Chains A and B, each alone.
Chain A
Amino acid sequence: MLRPNIGDIRVALYELSSICRVMAFIFLIPILFSFFYAGEINLVYLGGQVIVFVLPALVMYLLYLVCSRLGSSEEVRRKHIIMSVALAWLIIPFVGSIPYIMSGTLTPMDAFFESMSGWTTTGMSMMINPESVRGDIVFLRSLSQWVGGIGVVALALVIFMREGTVSLDYYSHEVGRQKLRPRMRDTIMETWKIYSMYTFACIVLLIILGIPVFDSINVAFATLSTGGFTPHAESIGYYDNLLIELVLIFFMIVGATSFLIHLKVFEGKYEMLLDNIEFKYMLYILLLSFVFVSLFMFLGAGYKSVGDLFDIARSVLFHCVAAITCTGFGLSDLGVWTQIPQSALMVLMYVGGVYGSTAGGIKLLRFIVVLKVLKHTFDKMTLPRSAVLRIGLNDQFLEYEELIHIMGLCAAYVIVALVGALVITSTGFEELHALFLSLSAMGNVGLIDVSSNVWFSMSPICKMVLILLMWVGRLEIFPILILLSSFMRWKKKKD
């Protein structure tokens, strides 16, 4: 029986304070770029540029002080960490909108949108033309995604993999009895190291392929975090370079693969990757959707030449990867895709990436469980009563509670997406586009299937809804319910 009290909130605040302190420093990082992009070495001018970052940093530090005062370091339970994370993902984007506002780049509402889109690694943008925006602001945008990405991974590793969840049992079986590093802090540091290494590799490869350094850094940041911001309005379509697309496909998949697996791979155990059931399913689903959608579009549009097939395949592959990894890079306007290909993308966005990666969606692990549940039920109907059936992943049995958690989340996810779509429809978008946008926001993907004109003339209500969906989706719904429930006092149930 939920018996929330101020005590819970205070413990959550205490947890939050340490996050705030780290954030304060992170907000100062773009200042490096301010120096590069300042037009003149005029101290006053520089000051004006830099204050845009100093202010949020100060606010964060202030919050850290306040929270550590207000908070109590009493017994910390999982519930409190969850609450603090839910709050963090609201407060950080909120404070993070200050740079956009102060630099005159965006209006307050748009700034909050952009900020939330960054920290949740979604990638939907309110900047009509990123090329005309200050370099340091653009960098902040990509940085927010990069940090947001690793934040999600840390979240998954630390919170949801505590004892008793099938993900842990499954993974501990997968990766052998060897536990996660005994100290969570170590694990996170290791993960950050690997993450940075991949990012660096990506930057280097992009530079080699001819992309300017600044662009490379920004794009790489957005790739590994499966975020999707790019410094150009046409997204990756701007480069029109197949090699670049292939490199990005590679790193998108890297970002959408569980970092636990990455940890193992870096220890030399490569086979872990290929044995990982989620990774295999991700590739199967990609292959399936790639072939199906390409053929569908090819045959349906009446294209005749092989060259056309190649173009379609290139576009389909890239967008399918962008969808399932929840990155959201685009090559071309998705609005011209017909209903069935768009629906395929919607399914990919719903499914998402591997658990313990930067991707969104319900995650492949849960999707696989859903498939197994369906098969199990079907088998039960067709086999004799005496057959004993259990649902399992590899050799781990799926326990009752885990089953409920997983199915419950999948159901709740659909419901929230539908409600979101409904509200978006009422602000003027056509129904299926509304559903697409809703799923894109919730899954933190970032793909949009409406034209630019339509997108940028969105109503404020719609923006608010998308912001909420991004937040709710990133946290996988339940943390927010838990947070809300702590603000409500419930009567004690009579026993």
Chain B
Amino acid sequence: MFKTNLEDIKIALNDLSVIFRATSCLFLFPLAFTFLCFRGDNIIDLFQKIMVFVVPFLSLYLLHKLFKRIPRKYETKTKHVMMSVSIGWLLIAAVGALPYVLSNTLNPVDAFFESMSGWTTTGMTLIDYPEKMLEDKKDILFYRSFTQWVGGVGIIVLTLIVFLREGTAAIEYYSSEVGSLKLKPSIRRTIKETWKIYILYTIACTILLFLVGVGRMDLFDALNHAMTALPTGGFSIHSESIGFYGNPLVELVLILFMMAGGISFIIHYRAFEGKKSHIIKNIEFRYILLIVSVATVVFFIFFIPGEGALNSFRLSLFQTVSIMTTTGFGTSDIAFWPVPTQALLLMLMLIGGSYGSTGSGVKVLRFVVIAKSLVYSLKRFTLPKSVMLRLTVGENTIDYDEITFVFAFFTTYLLLTFIGALVLTGLGYGGFESASVSLSAISNVGPTYIPLFVESPEGVFEPNARWFQMPDVGKITLILLMWIGRLEIFPILVFFTIFVRKRKRKK
């Protein structure tokens, strides 16, 4: 029984003010970049370019000031945190659309789409040829990758600080881990540590990419891809994504860092504290390895006739890791893959990355729980009543509330995917296509089964109008799905309770 009212919103907004101040400052980074890479000589041009970032900066700062003033009566409770998280992600993505609009890159709806795709680390894009922006809109390209980079940190911090601490949506498997982490005492410290590790990885990735990508990879390329690999985002500055480089070493480096992004950050913390053995013991990591291996083998078998052994392996491994970690980089357009492989890919999209990583989806941990409960069910049916059975993940027994939550989450997830797919079929897209787009959005993956580039009658590859000119209703649906999927649904449901007033239940 809940009684939401205006008070709750006020509390949520007030809490949000702090976040907005920090986020507004973030916009200064692309601004600095604009300065650095400005090549023209006209000061008015420079000014115009800078304004593109100043406006969102000011907007967020103003909102921060505004929200700070909102009077609040009560203490923050769990549901307020959920609300502020939902509202925050939506508003930041909205404000983050401004640079695209102000620089005349995209129209407002498309801009909102691109912005949300960035901040949720999805990677679906409505920019058909990003490379065309290399000449005069390099700063916007940088900003685009930057949104994913920040979005990645945002979700890690969110999971650690909000989800795991508040005890909601948490599986005890990790809460005990978090509890024993040295970071626990201070939120500020958690954030600082996260950023440190994250920046370190990003720099390492940039350098490695630059080194191995001799020829087609310059520093800008390396930086951008590092910035979207780690948050398992997937934006690329080339329309062919990673296929552009045709370089197995580049792919290898990216596989490494995509995996790093797809592993729970708690493991990374442990590694940096010196306890490297945790990764092997982590159940999610083991399952990821298993699933990646199996999927790679299956794809390998499918592609061997067409591509030869080595290429097939390279392709299979890269795409598997890319989809599984919900990054979305591509060395081939999965829209053209044979249907059975596409089905398996959908499965991978659904499962997603680890809990507490930048990956999205239902999360490996929850899948492990579901798989184990099916086995549990089976055993219960076949073994005599006297046998004691326990449902465990690692050392933890899954208790009543946890299992309830996992199943509820999974059901709602599928339901929302189904509804999203329905909307798209209503717009004229095929059934399988729609399902893939819907799932890809809610799992924040990126690639879908609507091809991005199709062959025109003259034999030239051109942007697929069915994707790039999707009706606005479809784009908005996808924006909503990306938002809902990133936040793991329930915070948003809590948010919507604002608009619902329930009668007091009769006792």
Give chain A's interface residues, CB within 8 Å of chain B.
Answer: 1-2, 77-79, 82, 164, 339-340, 343, 370, 373-374, 376-385, 391, 400-401, 403-405, 407-412, 414, 422, 425-426, 430-432, 435, 478, 481-482, 485
Contact = CB atoms under 8 A, between A and B. Distances in A.
A485 B380 CA distance: 13
A79 B403 contact: no
Given A78-B381, A82-B381, A339-B426, A380 B82 contact: no
B498 to A, nearest CB: 11
Interface in B383-399: 383-385, 391
Interface stretch (B13-21, B24-32, B307-315, B407-415): B407-415
Contacts of B384: 77
A425 B340 CA distance: 10
Given A378-B493, A403-B404, A431-B430, 14 more contacts: A1-B383, A164-B385, A340-B426, A373-B411, A374-B412, A376-B404, A377-B409, A379-B1, A382-B497, A383-B2, A384-B77, A384-B78, A400-B403, A403-B403
Interface string B362-394: 000000001001101111111111000001000
B401 interface: yes
Contacts of B2: 379, 382-383
A215 B414 CA distance: 43
A246 B244 CA distance: 64
Given A383-B1, A404-B373, A432 B425 contact: yes
B378 A478 contact: yes
B432 A431 contact: yes
Nearest to A433: B431
Contacts of A381: 78-79, 82, 168, 490, 493-494
Nearest to B391: A404
A425 B432 contact: yes
Interface in B434-463: 435
Interface of B: 1-2, 4, 77-79, 82, 167-168, 339-340, 343, 370, 373-374, 376-385, 391, 400-401, 403-405, 407-412, 414, 418, 422, 425-426, 430-432, 435, 490, 493-494, 497
Nearest to B8: A382
Contacts of A374: 408, 411-412
Contacts of A412: 374
B340 A431 contact: no
A404 B422 contact: no
| The 8 A-B residue pairs with the shortest CB-CB distance in the complex, in nearest-first order | A431-B431, A377-B408, A432-B431, A407-B407, A408-B377, A431-B432, A382-B2, A404-B373
A164 B373 CA distance: 18
Contacts of B340: 422, 426
21 contacts: A2-B378, A2-B383, A77-B384, A79-B381, A339-B426, A370-B411, A376-B404, A377-B408, A379-B1, A380-B168, A381-B494, A382-B4, A403-B400, A405-B377, A408-B370, A408-B373, A408-B374, A411-B374, A431-B430, A432-B431, A478-B377
A373 B379 CA distance: 23
Nearest to B409: A377
Contacts of A401: 380
Contacts of B418: 343
Contacts of A373: 404, 407-408, 411
Interface centre among A377, A405, A485 (most CB of B within 10 A): A377
A118 B229 CA distance: 55
A485 B82 CA distance: 45
A384 B78 CA distance: 8
Contacts of B407: 373, 403, 407, 411
A206 B381 CA distance: 43
Contacts of B1: 379, 383
A296 B384 CA distance: 51
Contacts of B343: 422
A225 B422 CA distance: 33
Contacts of B167: 385
A405 B380 contact: yes
Contacts of A407: 373, 403, 407, 411
A227 to B, nearest CB: 27
A382 B381 contact: no
B449 to A, nearest CB: 10
A410 B411 contact: yes
B94 to A, nearest CB: 25
A77 B383 CA distance: 9
A164 B403 CA distance: 20
A78 B380 CA distance: 11
A92 to B, nearest CB: 22
Nearest to A83: B382
Contacts of A380: 168, 401, 405
Contacts of B78: 381, 384-385
Contacts of B77: 384
Nearest to B426: A339
Contacts of B425: 339, 432
A377 B343 CA distance: 30
A411 B379 contact: no
B421 to A, nearest CB: 9
B374 A426 contact: no
